[in-house]
C-alpha cells in the first residue's frame, strides 16, 4: 500500500519537458519565418530613393548647364571697360538715332530700316516684359520699347514655325525687357532689335541670339531712357491684350520722316521710370 497523498498522480520527467519546450519554440519560429515580408514598404522606399536621385541629377545637370552658359556669355556682359560688346558679334548693324521724338497714334513714321530699330515712335510703348504677341503689332509702339532698353525679336511667320518658333518663344516669354512678335515681309527669318542695333539671322538656334540679348538688353550704355519701365500701360494707351495692329502698307507722303519733323506726340510725361506703373 502506497503512503502519502500523491497516490494516483504521475510526474513528467524533465527530459520530456525540455523536448516539449524546444518543439514549441521551433513551431513559433517556423510560423514567424512564414509570415510575409513587407515588400510593399520596401518597394515604396526604393521608389522614393530613385525619384530623389533623379531630381538631384536633374538639378545638378541644370546647374552645370547654367554655369557653362554663363561662362560662354561672360564676354558679352557690358561693363565700363566694354560698354558695347555687341560690336564684336558678326552681322550686327549699329546706327545712332535721336531719342524722345514721339508721334501720335494716328501718325506713321517713314522708317529707314525694316524692321526699324530707332527714330521717331509712338508716345506709348508696347508692353515688353516678356510679352510674346501672336499677331503683328504696330511698329511705332515697338520702337518705343527699344528706347526703354528692351530687345525685340521679330520673325517672319512664313519662315519660322514649329520647333524654331518654340525656341524663339523660350528666349522671350516671361523674360524682363524682352518682346517678340511676327513681322510679315521681313525678308530674313529672324531679326533682333535693340535701340540703335540690329542683327538678322537665318536660324533660331544661332548662338548670336543669346550674345545679342546679353550685350544689349538694358545695357545702360546703349539705350537712351535708362530706368524706364516696360510694364503695360493698359486700355486707352497700349493694351497688350488688344494692341494696335501692324500696318503692312507703305507709309504715305504725310508720314513723319526720320528727322522727326511734324511729330505730334510730344513727350507729355509718357515715359515713366521703372516701377511707375
Where exactly are the structural domains of the chain? 92-249+264-277
Q: Residue 35: its pLDDT value, please?
A: 57
Residue 115, preceding peptide bond in cis (omega within 30° of 0) = yes
Residues 181, 152 contacting (CB under 8 angstroms): yes
Q: Residue 191: its pLDDT value, please?
A: 98
63: left (phi over 0), alpha (psi -120 to 50) or beta: alpha
Chain centroid to CA 17: 80
Q: Residue 63: its pLDDT value, please?
A: 62
Q: Residue 235: its pLDDT value, please?
A: 92
Phi, psi angle pair for 121, to nearest 5°: -160, 170
Q: Residue 176: its pLDDT value, please?
A: 98
Predicted TM-score (pTM) of the model is 0.75
Residue tagged 507729355 (cell numbers): 268
Q: Residue 16: its pLDDT value, please?
A: 59
Q: What is the mean pLDDT of each run of 10 residues along the chain (277 residues)?
A: 50 60 67 64 83 77 65 91 97 97 97 98 98 98 98 98 98 98 96 98 98 98 96 94 96 96 69 51
Amino acid at each position: 500500500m502506497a503512503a502519502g497523498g500523491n497516490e494516483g498522480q504521475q510526474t513528467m520527467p524533465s527530459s520530456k519537458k525540455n523536448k516539449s519546450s524546444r518543439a514549441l519554440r521551433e513551431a513559433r519560429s517556423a510560423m514567424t519565418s512564414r509570415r510575409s515580408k513587407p515588400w510593399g514598404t520596401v518597394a515604396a522606399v526604393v521608389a522614393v530613393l530613385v525619384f530623389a536621385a533623379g531630381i538631384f541629377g536633374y538639378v545638378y545637370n541644370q546647374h552645370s548647364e547654367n554655369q557653362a552658359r554663363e561662362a560662354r556669355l561672360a564676354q558679352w556682359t557690358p561693363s565700363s571697360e566694354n560698354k558695347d560688346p555687341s560690336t564684336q558679334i558678326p552681322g550686327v548693324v549699329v546706327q545712332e538715332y535721336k531719342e524722345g521724338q514721339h508721334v501720335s497714334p494716328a501718325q506713321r513714321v517713314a522708317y529707314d530700316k525694316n524692321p526699324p530699330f530707332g527714330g521717331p515712335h509712338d508716345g506709348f510703348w508696347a508692353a515688353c516684359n516678356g510679352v510674346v504677341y501672336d499677331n503683328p503689332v504696330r511698329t511705332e509702339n515697338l520702337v518705343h520699347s527699344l528706347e526703354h532698353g528692351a530687345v525685340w525679336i521679330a520673325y517672319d511667320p512664313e519662315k519660322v514655325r514649329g520647333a524654331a518658333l518654340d525656341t524663339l518663344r523660350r528666349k522671350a516669354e516671361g523674360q524682363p525687357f524682352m518682346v517678340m512678335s511676327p513681322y510679315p515681309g521681313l525678308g530674313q527669318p529672324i531679326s533682333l532689335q535693340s535701340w540703335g542695333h540690329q542683327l538678322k539671322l537665318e536660324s533660331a538656334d544661332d548662338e548670336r541670339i543669346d550674345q545679342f540679348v546679353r550685350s544689349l538688353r538694358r545695357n545702360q550704355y546703349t539705350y537712351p531712357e535708362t530706368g524706364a519701365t516696360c510694364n503695360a500701360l493698359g486700355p486707352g494707351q497700349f493694351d497688350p491684350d488688344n494692341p494696335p495692329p501692324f500696318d503692312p502698307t507703305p507709309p504715305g507722303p504725310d508720314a513723319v520722316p526720320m528727322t522727326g519733323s511734324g511729330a505730334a506726340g510730344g513727350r507729355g510725361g509718357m515715359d515713366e521710370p521703372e516701377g511707375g506703373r
